[in-house]
Structure 1
């Protein structure tokens, strides 16, 4: 089928793939091994699947009630914690998604919940202010010839980082006070590109001294977070074994258009020779028994089968199926434009759907639009396991535990998440307000999720 006849959500993206534009705007979250470091476990800048939620240094931490299932009113397990500050923002930012695994709660509203947490990064704000002062000073300084500038460049200095790819999922250069690749506390704030000249030796010494003065803060914050999580209210919450999540760019392998089988060509030719239309009613009905949206979903996922998160801020979600209310809501049928010629005797016109961001509820706090931010993928279900499901477990269940397991089986309360994808929509303005609506330096708010359940 040509791109003109494709009725999926992403015609332009489909055409780009056929033309060889193989990189998309999507960042993929890939599981990257067990999270065993206590330091990383307490660091909100380290994105993970499963585990207990790592919080930003808020003045008041959320109650475990935030993760209660609205269907059974029981605590839910954390699926992912994604560190995803907006580029250029002075706020650290984390998304959390919880889901209930009880069978009776599947396909029920409120069994999946997502939250957005913000916290002002004062250290990064100070660093950014110093950087602006240095840039202003350099602008007023005498011009330096290219040869002099080249000789003054430190050949061993690390290249500056920047862009969402460096910020997302706690990759190198994350904004929060966390850990560097060698496990030592890192200065908060990501490095913005400011040219190859980092300034004079005095300026570099000033940066290093400032970093040394504040170096103890991340470790202190981590210990406070670890102490808080050791309290019964959070440590007793159910959880899966935590796994690191790393990020990669999505790459689509260019594919040639599929050849048309000879049998189809012959049948079409015979039908035409007999005076009939090659697009009969029967052919049309058979084609519509196939969910092309699901086929597209499967094909896209097969490009990187390990993916557990797709992140594409203000982008277009990848729908799991076209046969549920979620798809019909956010991918409505496109109306035929006035003046469009419609064939009466020819084959039926393909039904065209397009993503409509306005179909998503506005932010209830600031009134601004919500946009698609990320979605969770089915592979996440297969990699999440409870800590007590390890083969190395030697402790036998007690009689009471066995009775509880049997009761759960009889009541249909066994684990078994059945979703196909979970889409998270967040405030485009990334609003940060207190209960009165006044600007604040931190926030913890629930965001919108739309779930397409397995078919």
Structure 2
């Protein structure tokens, strides 16, 4: 099987690495077979690193809280100092003494201005300046790549592309009644079939349009370059309403996670434009066309992100649920 999609998908509030892999068999013998498309969730945990990251985040929060408290305290002391200066200058309790009684006197001499206030303000200012400043750590240089006498194993894959994440848009199309006129031959007229419903053909044509598929078409029309839809949890946009996958997702009957028995939630949906992108750069187009006949692919993962068994490096993999809606086969 070849790697179809690889997505780095860490979860909020966690400190471990997490990725999703979707594999597809591109051989003609795999077409429409169950298990021809599979999904793997991979995790990499380092408990020591996670503990340090969590502690670092807590320290940052405490530091920000302390800086805010110091800033508020400094602002309050500044207001009090200014108020104290005003009281000293215009102190009514000074009796008959008037700092402005002598036109040649300086109202801002020691008799009218308390030097202790000025000294206190300067000292407080010095204390504020001693507050640690946030510095940007110098990025470490990457270590030299280890050399190995063994060549890397090359696994099958489709041509690599980077995915640009953008917001999804959808402007629903209003399905209007089709203007279809039924054909009436002379034999019908001669038989007096005046009860013939002239709008029956139009109603039948309109009813044949699947609103579920029409919504999918509208989404593709509005987002023609869309490779996948990602959100956790996400709402499915169905390619068809006539298969088991539609019933499973609509009725929330996704199989439970075998790791902890918990629920799975929809996280990823691959759109058909992915096939076109692969065909643009793949040499054996016939193989792709014969093996890739899906309309859309759904991937549901463990809601609790249940941990698989980890190896000595803290790496583990778990297979997740895949639902494939295949292209409808038109029979005549």
Contact 1:104 1:413 in 2 (8 A): no
Matched, 1:204 2:151: no
Equivalence for 2:294: 419
Helix, strand or coil at the partner of 2:247: helix
CA shift digits 1:142-161 (9 cap, x unpaired):
3424997xxxxxxxxxxxxx
Separation (CA, whole Å) in 2 of partners of 1:422 and 1:242? 19
Report whether the alignment pairs 1:304 with 2:231: no
In 2, the alpha carbon distance for the partners of 1:88 and 1:145 equals 30
- Equivalenced residue count is 258
Alignment of 1:97-108 (within 5 A): 97-108=22-33
Q: Is the 8 A contact 1:372 1:423 kept in 2?
A: yes
- TM-superposed CA distance for 1:420, in Å, is 0.7
Distance 1:260 1:289 in 2: 11
Residue 95 of structure 1 corresponds to: 20
Give 1:135's aligned residue: 61
Which has the larger Rg? 2
Task: Work out whether residues 374 and 425 of structure 1, in 8 Å CA contact, stay in contact via their aligned partners in 2.
Answer: yes
CA distance in 1, matches of 2:327, 2:219: 17
SS in 2 for 1:247: coil
Map 1:263-412; keep pairs closer than 5 Å.
Answer: 285-330=204-249, 355-357=250-252, 359-385=253-279, 389=283
The answer to whether the Cα contact below 8 Å between 1:424 and 1:449 also exists between their aligned partners in 2 is yes
Once residues 290 and 148 of structure 2 are traced to their aligned partners in structure 1, the CA distance between those partners, rounded to angstroms, is 30
How far did 1:126 drift?
Answer: 2.5
**Residue of structure 1 in register with 2:106 after alignment:** none
- Residues 1-31 of structure 1 show CA distances to partners (whole Å, capped at 9, x for unaligned) of xxxxxxxxxxxxxxxxxxxxxxxxxxxxxxx
Tell me the residue number matched to 2:152: 231
User: Does the 8 Å contact 2:10/2:19 carry over to 1?
Assistant: yes
State the 1:312 CA deviation.
Answer: 2.1
Counterpart contact for 1:314–1:373, Cα < 8 Å: yes
Cα distance 1:388–1:302, how it changes in 2: closer, same or farther (>3 A)?
closer
In structure 2, do the counterparts of structure 1 residues 258 and 434 end up closer, same or farther at CA, with 3 Å as the change threshold? closer
Match of 2:158 among 233, 240, 255: 240
Unpaired segments of 5 or more residues in structure 1?
1-75, 149-199, 265-273, 331-354, 390-404
Which ranges in structure 2 are unaligned for 5 or more consecutive residues? 76-129, 182-193
TM-score between both structures, scaled by the size of structure 1: 0.49
Q: Distance in 2 between matches of 1:239 and 1:314?
A: 28
Q: What is the root-mean-square deviation in Å for CA atoms of aligned residues?
A: 3.9
The question of 1:432 aligning with 2:307 is answered: yes
Runs of 4+, deviation exceeding 6 Å: 226-229, 261-264, 274-280
- Structure 2 distance, partners of 1:229, 1:445, is 28
What is the Cα deviation at residue 316 of structure 1? 1.6
Compute the displacement of 1:253 (Å): 3.7
